[in-house]
Amino acid sequence: MRLWFATALVLASLALPAVGSAAPVAHEACSRDTPATIGGQHKCLGAGEYCATRYERQYERYGFICSTHYDPPRLRRT
């Protein structure tokens, strides 16, 4: 029983690095929109897209404002 457990433990330890070493998945490229990091996440920004007013300062870095003239708010180019 101990030999079986030791063998299983060794095989599991060899298999774990292979699973964890997979290449990270790249974010999809934004074809016609502006690539941005908003709230710590990758986003593709474009005029007319939904936005969150709490990230207004972050949108401004990429040349957009979160217009509250719409319900829900939408992005506009500055």
Q: Cα(45)–Cα(76) distance, rounded to whole angstroms?
A: 10
pLDDT at 29: 85
The low-confidence residues of the chain, meaning pLDDT below 70, are 1-28
pLDDT at 26: 47
CA neighbor of 39 nearest in space, from 56, 23, 25: 56
pLDDT at 12: 63
Q: Cα(22)–Cα(50) distance, rounded to whole angstroms?
A: 33
Q: Look up residue 53 and give its DSSP letter.
A: G
Q: Cα(13)–Cα(2) distance, rounded to whole angstroms?
A: 16
